[in-house]
Amino acid sequence: MSHIAYVNGRYLPQRLAQLSIDDRATQFADAVYEVTCIWNCAPVDHAAHLARLARSLEAIRIAAPCSAAGLTAICREVVERNRIERGTIYIQVSRGVAPRAHPFPADMIRPGLVITGKHGVGPSESVADQGVKVIAIPDARWGRCDIKTTGLLGNVLARQAAVEAKAFEALLYRPDGFVTEASASNAWIVDADGIIVTHPLGPEILGGVTRTTVLNLIRAAGYKVEERPFTLEQARTAREVFLTGTTTFVMPVVQIDAGVIANGVPGTICRDLRRRYRAYVEQSTASEAAWAT
Protein backbone atom coordinates (compact mmCIF):
# COMPACT_ATOMS: atom_id res chain seq x y z
CA MET A 1 0.00 0.00 0.00
CA SER A 2 1.43 3.40 -0.90
CA HIS A 3 1.72 5.83 1.97
CA ILE A 4 0.05 9.21 2.09
CA ALA A 5 1.98 12.07 3.65
CA TYR A 6 0.81 15.50 4.73
CA VAL A 7 3.23 18.23 3.58
CA ASN A 8 2.52 21.91 4.09
CA GLY A 9 -1.21 21.79 3.47
CA ARG A 10 -1.43 18.89 1.01
CA TYR A 11 -1.94 15.13 1.26
CA LEU A 12 0.28 13.38 -1.25
CA PRO A 13 1.56 9.89 -2.01
CA GLN A 14 4.75 9.74 0.07
CA ARG A 15 6.93 9.04 -2.96
CA LEU A 16 5.81 12.36 -4.49
CA ALA A 17 6.02 14.38 -1.27
CA GLN A 18 8.91 16.85 -1.24
CA LEU A 19 10.45 19.61 0.82
CA SER A 20 12.20 22.67 -0.56
CA ILE A 21 16.00 22.44 -0.55
CA ASP A 22 15.81 25.74 1.32
CA ASP A 23 13.71 24.28 4.12
CA ARG A 24 15.76 25.04 7.23
CA ALA A 25 15.21 21.45 8.43
CA THR A 26 17.52 20.20 5.68
CA GLN A 27 20.35 22.70 6.13
CA PHE A 28 20.38 23.42 9.87
CA ALA A 29 18.19 20.74 11.47
CA ASP A 30 16.24 23.86 12.45
CA ALA A 31 13.20 21.74 13.21
CA VAL A 32 11.56 19.70 15.94
CA TYR A 33 9.56 16.50 15.80
CA GLU A 34 7.40 13.95 17.59
CA VAL A 35 6.82 10.24 17.13
CA THR A 36 3.54 8.89 18.51
CA CYS A 37 2.50 5.26 18.72
CA ILE A 38 -0.78 4.35 17.04
CA TRP A 39 -2.62 1.41 18.58
CA ASN A 40 -6.20 0.38 17.79
CA CYS A 41 -6.09 3.19 15.15
CA ALA A 42 -5.67 5.76 17.95
CA PRO A 43 -2.70 7.57 19.46
CA VAL A 44 -1.03 6.74 22.76
CA ASP A 45 -0.54 9.84 24.94
CA HIS A 46 -1.50 12.21 22.10
CA ALA A 47 -1.99 15.25 24.38
CA ALA A 48 1.43 14.73 26.00
CA HIS A 49 3.13 14.51 22.57
CA LEU A 50 1.44 17.72 21.43
CA ALA A 51 2.43 19.42 24.70
CA ARG A 52 6.06 18.38 24.22
CA LEU A 53 5.96 19.57 20.61
CA ALA A 54 4.71 22.96 21.82
CA ARG A 55 7.51 23.08 24.40
CA SER A 56 10.19 22.19 21.79
CA LEU A 57 8.82 24.84 19.41
CA GLU A 58 8.87 27.45 22.14
CA ALA A 59 12.43 26.50 23.13
CA ILE A 60 13.74 27.25 19.64
CA ARG A 61 11.27 30.07 18.95
CA ILE A 62 9.30 28.57 16.08
CA ALA A 63 5.63 29.57 15.94
CA ALA A 64 3.05 26.80 16.20
CA PRO A 65 2.11 25.74 12.65
CA CYS A 66 -1.56 25.52 13.68
CA SER A 67 -3.75 24.94 16.73
CA ALA A 68 -3.69 21.68 18.69
CA ALA A 69 -7.11 20.89 17.23
CA GLY A 70 -5.79 21.54 13.71
CA LEU A 71 -2.77 19.29 14.28
CA THR A 72 -5.02 16.59 15.70
CA ALA A 73 -7.27 16.73 12.65
CA ILE A 74 -4.27 16.23 10.33
CA CYS A 75 -2.88 13.40 12.47
CA ARG A 76 -6.27 11.66 12.32
CA GLU A 77 -6.45 12.11 8.58
CA VAL A 78 -2.96 10.59 8.15
CA VAL A 79 -3.90 7.61 10.36
CA GLU A 80 -7.15 7.10 8.42
CA ARG A 81 -5.77 7.60 4.91
CA ASN A 82 -2.95 5.16 5.65
CA ARG A 83 -5.26 2.75 7.53
CA ILE A 84 -2.83 2.47 10.42
CA GLU A 85 -4.09 0.12 13.08
CA ARG A 86 -0.75 -0.32 14.81
CA GLY A 87 2.14 1.88 13.84
CA THR A 88 3.52 5.36 14.34
CA ILE A 89 2.96 8.88 13.12
CA TYR A 90 5.82 11.32 12.66
CA ILE A 91 5.24 15.08 13.06
CA GLN A 92 7.96 17.49 11.98
CA VAL A 93 7.84 21.26 12.24
CA SER A 94 10.65 23.32 10.72
CA ARG A 95 11.27 27.05 10.87
CA GLY A 96 10.29 27.17 7.20
CA VAL A 97 11.84 28.00 3.86
CA ALA A 98 14.38 30.82 3.40
CA PRO A 99 17.68 31.36 1.56
CA ARG A 100 20.47 29.74 3.57
CA ALA A 101 21.79 31.99 6.36
CA HIS A 102 22.44 31.03 9.97
CA PRO A 103 20.26 33.58 11.82
CA PHE A 104 16.50 33.35 11.83
CA PRO A 105 15.11 34.84 8.59
CA ALA A 106 14.37 38.55 9.04
CA ASP A 107 11.00 38.21 7.32
CA MET A 108 8.24 36.19 8.92
CA ILE A 109 8.12 32.77 7.27
CA ARG A 110 5.55 30.06 7.64
CA PRO A 111 6.70 27.03 9.68
CA GLY A 112 6.95 23.86 7.59
CA LEU A 113 4.71 20.98 8.71
CA VAL A 114 5.15 17.35 7.69
CA ILE A 115 3.11 14.45 9.09
CA THR A 116 3.71 10.88 7.93
CA GLY A 117 2.50 7.48 9.07
CA LYS A 118 4.09 4.07 9.29
CA HIS A 119 2.68 0.59 9.82
CA GLY A 120 4.03 -1.59 12.61
CA VAL A 121 5.48 -0.53 15.90
CA GLY A 122 8.34 -1.79 17.99
CA PRO A 123 10.05 -5.13 18.36
CA SER A 124 8.07 -8.35 18.72
CA GLU A 125 6.93 -9.69 22.07
CA SER A 126 9.44 -12.54 21.78
CA VAL A 127 12.30 -9.99 21.66
CA ALA A 128 10.96 -8.40 24.83
CA ASP A 129 10.45 -11.81 26.46
CA GLN A 130 14.14 -12.61 25.97
CA GLY A 131 15.45 -9.12 26.71
CA VAL A 132 18.00 -7.27 24.61
CA LYS A 133 21.68 -6.48 24.49
CA VAL A 134 22.86 -2.86 24.49
CA ILE A 135 26.29 -1.29 24.08
CA ALA A 136 27.67 1.60 26.11
CA ILE A 137 29.03 4.54 24.19
CA PRO A 138 30.11 8.10 25.13
CA ASP A 139 27.28 10.63 24.84
CA ALA A 140 28.49 12.95 22.08
CA ARG A 141 25.33 15.04 21.70
CA TRP A 142 24.77 18.74 22.20
CA GLY A 143 23.76 20.31 25.53
CA ARG A 144 19.99 20.59 24.98
CA CYS A 145 18.83 17.00 24.64
CA ASP A 146 15.52 18.01 26.25
CA ILE A 147 14.50 19.68 22.98
CA LYS A 148 13.25 17.08 20.50
CA THR A 149 15.09 18.48 17.51
CA THR A 150 15.77 16.67 14.24
CA GLY A 151 19.50 17.30 14.85
CA LEU A 152 20.07 13.65 15.70
CA LEU A 153 23.56 12.93 14.38
CA GLY A 154 24.91 11.93 17.81
CA ASN A 155 21.95 9.56 18.23
CA VAL A 156 22.32 8.19 14.69
CA LEU A 157 26.02 7.40 15.13
CA ALA A 158 25.38 5.76 18.50
CA ARG A 159 22.57 3.62 17.08
CA GLN A 160 24.68 2.62 14.10
CA ALA A 161 27.43 1.48 16.47
CA ALA A 162 24.78 -0.60 18.28
CA VAL A 163 23.58 -2.17 15.03
CA GLU A 164 27.16 -3.02 14.05
CA ALA A 165 27.63 -4.67 17.47
CA LYS A 166 24.36 -6.62 16.93
CA ALA A 167 22.85 -4.75 19.86
CA PHE A 168 19.35 -3.32 20.23
CA GLU A 169 20.34 0.10 21.58
CA ALA A 170 23.26 2.26 22.68
CA LEU A 171 23.41 3.41 26.28
CA LEU A 172 24.93 6.89 26.39
CA TYR A 173 27.27 7.98 29.20
CA ARG A 174 28.98 11.25 30.05
CA PRO A 175 32.68 11.73 30.90
CA ASP A 176 31.73 11.62 34.62
CA GLY A 177 30.44 8.07 34.11
CA PHE A 178 26.74 8.88 34.48
CA VAL A 179 24.31 7.34 32.02
CA THR A 180 21.98 9.87 30.43
CA GLU A 181 19.64 7.79 28.25
CA ALA A 182 19.83 5.64 25.11
CA SER A 183 19.90 6.75 21.45
CA ALA A 184 16.09 6.72 21.12
CA SER A 185 14.80 5.65 24.52
CA ASN A 186 15.13 6.46 28.23
CA ALA A 187 17.23 4.24 30.49
CA TRP A 188 16.32 2.78 33.89
CA ILE A 189 17.85 0.44 36.46
CA VAL A 190 16.61 -1.40 39.51
CA ASP A 191 19.35 -1.01 42.12
CA ALA A 192 20.53 -3.43 44.82
CA ASP A 193 17.86 -2.08 47.22
CA GLY A 194 15.07 -2.72 44.71
CA ILE A 195 14.67 0.99 43.93
CA ILE A 196 13.85 1.91 40.34
CA VAL A 197 16.16 4.70 39.18
CA THR A 198 16.11 6.93 36.10
CA HIS A 199 17.93 10.14 35.16
CA PRO A 200 16.06 13.27 36.32
CA LEU A 201 14.59 15.67 33.78
CA GLY A 202 17.01 18.33 32.55
CA PRO A 203 19.00 19.32 29.49
CA GLU A 204 20.89 15.98 29.46
CA ILE A 205 17.89 13.85 28.44
CA LEU A 206 14.71 13.92 26.44
CA GLY A 207 11.75 13.95 28.80
CA GLY A 208 10.16 10.85 27.33
CA VAL A 209 6.38 10.70 27.15
CA THR A 210 6.64 6.97 27.88
CA ARG A 211 8.98 7.80 30.79
CA THR A 212 6.22 9.94 32.38
CA THR A 213 3.54 7.30 31.85
CA VAL A 214 5.81 4.56 33.22
CA LEU A 215 6.64 6.74 36.27
CA ASN A 216 2.89 7.03 36.91
CA LEU A 217 2.44 3.26 36.54
CA ILE A 218 5.40 2.63 38.88
CA ARG A 219 3.92 4.89 41.56
CA ALA A 220 0.45 3.39 41.12
CA ALA A 221 1.93 -0.10 41.54
CA GLY A 222 3.66 0.96 44.76
CA TYR A 223 7.27 0.44 43.63
CA LYS A 224 9.96 2.71 45.00
CA VAL A 225 11.39 5.07 42.40
CA GLU A 226 14.01 7.81 42.40
CA GLU A 227 14.81 10.27 39.63
CA ARG A 228 18.59 10.57 40.03
CA PRO A 229 21.57 9.89 37.80
CA PHE A 230 23.17 6.42 37.89
CA THR A 231 26.59 5.43 36.59
CA LEU A 232 27.44 2.94 33.89
CA GLU A 233 29.10 0.84 36.59
CA GLN A 234 25.86 0.84 38.61
CA ALA A 235 23.98 -0.23 35.48
CA ARG A 236 26.39 -3.10 34.83
CA THR A 237 25.84 -4.42 38.36
CA ALA A 238 22.13 -3.57 38.66
CA ARG A 239 19.44 -6.11 39.45
CA GLU A 240 17.55 -5.05 36.35
CA VAL A 241 18.04 -2.65 33.45
CA PHE A 242 15.35 -1.53 31.04
CA LEU A 243 14.49 1.05 28.39
CA THR A 244 11.28 2.97 27.69
CA GLY A 245 10.09 4.77 24.59
CA THR A 246 7.25 5.20 22.13
CA THR A 247 8.53 2.43 19.86
CA THR A 248 10.09 0.22 22.55
CA PHE A 249 7.40 0.34 25.24
CA VAL A 250 9.20 -1.17 28.26
CA MET A 251 12.17 -3.21 27.04
CA PRO A 252 14.21 -5.40 29.39
CA VAL A 253 18.01 -5.21 28.91
CA VAL A 254 19.90 -8.40 29.78
CA GLN A 255 23.39 -7.52 28.56
CA ILE A 256 25.57 -4.38 28.42
CA ASP A 257 28.57 -4.92 26.12
CA ALA A 258 29.97 -8.34 27.10
CA GLY A 259 28.51 -8.23 30.62
CA VAL A 260 25.32 -10.04 31.52
CA ILE A 261 22.84 -8.26 33.83
CA ALA A 262 22.00 -10.30 36.93
CA ASN A 263 21.16 -13.83 35.75
CA GLY A 264 20.71 -12.84 32.11
CA VAL A 265 16.92 -12.96 31.90
CA PRO A 266 14.43 -10.07 32.14
CA GLY A 267 13.78 -9.11 35.76
CA THR A 268 10.43 -9.37 37.49
CA ILE A 269 9.93 -5.61 37.89
CA CYS A 270 10.53 -4.71 34.26
CA ARG A 271 8.40 -7.63 33.08
CA ASP A 272 5.61 -6.41 35.34
CA LEU A 273 6.02 -2.83 34.06
CA ARG A 274 5.95 -4.00 30.46
CA ARG A 275 2.69 -5.83 31.16
CA ARG A 276 1.22 -2.77 32.90
CA TYR A 277 2.31 -0.47 30.06
CA ARG A 278 0.79 -2.79 27.44
CA ALA A 279 -2.48 -2.76 29.39
CA TYR A 280 -2.32 1.05 29.57
CA VAL A 281 -1.80 1.27 25.80
CA GLU A 282 -4.78 -1.02 25.14
CA GLN A 283 -7.06 0.77 27.55
CA SER A 284 -6.07 4.35 26.67
CA THR A 285 -6.58 3.81 22.93
CA ALA A 286 -9.91 2.05 23.25
CA SER A 287 -12.06 5.20 23.08
CA GLU A 288 -12.43 8.57 21.38
CA ALA A 289 -10.72 10.12 24.43
CA ALA A 290 -7.37 9.04 22.94
CA TRP A 291 -7.60 12.02 20.54
CA ALA A 292 -8.32 14.58 23.27
CA THR A 293 -5.85 17.43 23.54
Element (H, E) at 293: none
CB of 109 to ligand PDD, least distance (A): 25
CA–CA distances in Å: residue 261 to residues 251, 252, 257, 267, 281: 14, 10, 10, 9, 28
- The strand pairing partners of 6, in sequence order, are 11, 115
Residue with Cβ nearer ligand PDD (97 or 141): 141
Q: Least distance (Å) from ligand PDD to the CB of residue 88?
A: 8
Q: Does 245 bind ligand PDD (CB under 6 A)?
A: yes
Scanning residues 139 to 158, which ones bind ligand PDD (CB under 6 A)? Answer: 155
Which phi and psi (to 5°) does residue 11 adopt? -100, 125
Q: Is 118 a catalytic residue?
A: no
Going from the C-alpha of 10 to that of each of 14, 71, 74, 76, the distances in angstroms are 11, 13, 10, 14
- Least CB distance from residue 106 to ligand PDD, whole Å? 32
Which of 118, 133, 148, 166 is catalytic? The answer is: 148
Q: State phi, psi for 262 to the nearest 5 degrees.
A: 50, -120
From residue 25 to residue 54, the character string flagging contacts with ligand PDD as x (rule: CB under 6 A) and all else as - is: ----------x-------------------
Half-sphere exposure of 14 (CA within 13 A, CB side): 14
Residue ranges in 195-234 that form contacts with ligand PDD under rule CB under 6 A: 206, 208-211
> What counts of helices (H) and strands (E) characterise the chain?
8, 16
Q: Which is nearer to ligand PDD, 225 or 262 (CB)?
A: 225
Of positions 82, 92, 116, 186, contacts ligand PDD by CB under 6 A: 186
Site residues for ligand PDD per CB under 6 A:
35, 155, 181, 184-186, 206, 208-211, 244-247
Catalytic center residues = 148
